[in-house]
Amino acid sequence: MIQVAVNGYGTIGKRVADAVAKQPDMELVGVAKTRPNHEAELAVEKGYPLYAAIEERIDSFDEAGVELAGTVDELVDAADIVVDACPSGIGAENKSLYDAHETPALYQGGEDAELVDVSFNARSNFARAEGADHVRVVSCNTTGLSRLLAPLQESYGVEKARVTLVRRGGDPSQSGRGPINDVLPNPITLPSHHGPDVNTIFPELSIDTLGLKVPATLMHTHSVNVTLESTPDADEVRELLAAEDRTFLIEPSYDIDGAGALKEFAMDRGRPRGDIWENCIWAESISMAGNDLYLFQAIHQESDVVPENVDAIRAVLGIADAEESIATTNDAIGLGF
């Protein structure tokens, strides 16, 4: 069994911990938290050994009556691999900790690509992570774009991708984020950072991206135009994308018109936290004009990177190939509607 540690138990960390705990070949050795809040209590209730991320704060856990198993140093030492799910920039500060214990580490999309040996997406470059000490699972948006672009590139060739990313202002629990009554070009300058980030996965791909932020919390929406090198018809593209492991084609009969209905759909189907790990592509939106493909997809920012983190663990340790790992991960967490 692979011993996995999760350092940073917030939006992404708690979801990755749950997914790891479900894998047949992994054991969650513990999670590290900075504060004894309700999430810390939940970790203990779930039977996840809880470690103090900051030694000076051990007393606050004692005072709150939250049981600790030790410090993050001990956790990292006991693990075969650590998933760092700390806020952007903290992962970089933690790198020396992982190096000191010679424990390979996965970081999240908020860290700079320069921090790591490899930026990772299971569908696109699984094998490149084998043996790497530092791997970054790319952001929610880059994950969503990579999953879409990989099959298009393989089947038709991509001449140029142009994507407008309509991004949620914050996650539902981020009460301080905005905008609350505005639509912001963000960043105002072009390209947004998303295109260059996609190039960490597909170095040769020609892609331009524009970003907006809107008063929404549930999901991101991508307006996609890909100029292909060949001219499939829209039905062929629909079939291609439907056959992918981590896409969900929204059929017209589902009557799902946006992120709210998508989240309701996920909750009705018993998804933990209403999570949607798949790219949600409106089947009707898939259109061809000459060799230009157009479509809309929605991306659940809090969860699409979760199965990718699980696959990155196997990729780094070299214990499965992409197909095997993706199938195991999907089966264990119940991915696929």
| Closest distance to ligand NAD from the beta carbon of 84 (Å) | 8
Q: Is 280 a catalytic residue?
A: no
Among 18, 275, 278, 302, binds ligand NAD (CB under 6 A): 302
Among 49, 109, 195, 211, binds ligand NAD (CB under 6 A): 109
Q: Name the nearest CA neighbour of 84 among 48, 53, 39.
A: 53
Active-site position among 140, 161, 165, 313:
140
Q: What are the DSSP calls for 26-88, one per residue?
A: EEEEEEEESS-SHHHHHHHHTT--EEESSGGGHHHHHHTT----EEHHHHHHH-SEEEE-PST
Which residue's CB is nearer to ligand NAD, number 162 or number 167? 167
d(CA 159, CA 156): 9
Listed ranges 28-36, 63-71, 74-82, 240-248: which one lies at the site for ligand NAD (CB under 6 A):
28-36
Site for ligand NAD in 169-228 (CB under 6 A): 171
Listed ranges 4-12, 116-124, 233-241, 328-336: which one lies at the site for ligand NAD (CB under 6 A):
4-12
d(CA 80, CA 28): 10
Environment class of 234 (CB within 10 Å of its CB; exposed 0-12, middle 13-18, buried 19+): middle
Which residue's CB is nearer to ligand NAD, number 25 or number 39? 39
Question: Does 305 interact with ligand NAD (rule: CB under 6 A)?
Answer: yes
CB-CB contact of 27 with 1 (8 Å): yes
Among 4, 5, 9, 308, binds ligand NAD (CB under 6 A): 9
Environment class of 188 (CB within 10 Å of its CB; exposed 0-12, middle 13-18, buried 19+): exposed
State the binding string over 32-71 for ligand NAD (x if CB under 6 A, else -): x-xx-----------------x------------------
- E strand or H helix that includes residue 193: none
Environment class of 236 (CB within 10 Å of its CB; exposed 0-12, middle 13-18, buried 19+): middle
Question: Does 87 interact with ligand NAD (rule: CB under 6 A)?
Answer: yes
Residues that bind ligand NAD (CB under 6 A): 7-13, 32, 34-35, 53, 85-88, 90, 108-111, 139-140, 171, 301-302, 305
Where in the sequence numbering do the catalytic residues fall?
140
